[in-house]
Structure 1
Amino acid sequence: MSRIPPAKQPPKLALRPTDTITEVREYALITPLFGGGVNPASHDPVTVVRPAEIRGQLRFWWRATRGGQFGDDLNTLRAAEEAIWGGPVREENGNARGGQSPVQVV
């Protein structure tokens, strides 16, 4: 039996002005997405679905729809994926690679 969380409005976000491009989109979810809070097996009444979960779905679908264009070149695929979705920070040829994703989900 599932519980329905109490109806609460999420807090207003104070976003900083940046030079980024803002796109507002609406998507229909066709794959399973399990919401929840930071703590396992407990819901978060403010953030029912966390931005990291949405970003993970977008990353999956990017790889599913764009990954084939790289053929067998996994290093190029990895570099392209990390440029969009971020990855672990590591050093290659004296340059830092990876880091946070420039994609922000609010």
Structure 2
Amino acid sequence: MARYYETADIFVYHSTLDSFPLVLLEAAAHGLPIALNRWGPFPDLFVDGKEAAFYETGNTTELAGLVGRLADNEGERAALGRSVLESFEKNQSILSRGKMLEKFFSEVLQ
């Protein structure tokens, strides 16, 4: 799968069936700009315009326009990709999760 993420320019997630799909973390870990619907917890997980580009759930016309805009705007894609990667490394990577667990257990044991 890694080679597909590495060759992609944009990651589009259109489903409303999964509350926190692993593919979003995978896309973030590869620094891909994410086009994402406003369904469920997604607006709370990503900052619109900074870590992802949102569209109204079910609005395929808006989604098409968003994908077209991102496809035409390399600077916006790069900025979204950098930001979501930084957020992933800070909050979701194995290293950051390990530090959170270490802090948690240190507090519990004191």
TM-score tier (shorter): under 0.3
User: Structure 2 length normalisation: TM-score?
Assistant: 0.27
Q: Which entry has the higher C-alpha Rg, 1 or 2? A: 1
User: Structure 1 length normalisation: TM-score?
Assistant: 0.28
Pick the structure with more helix per residue: 2
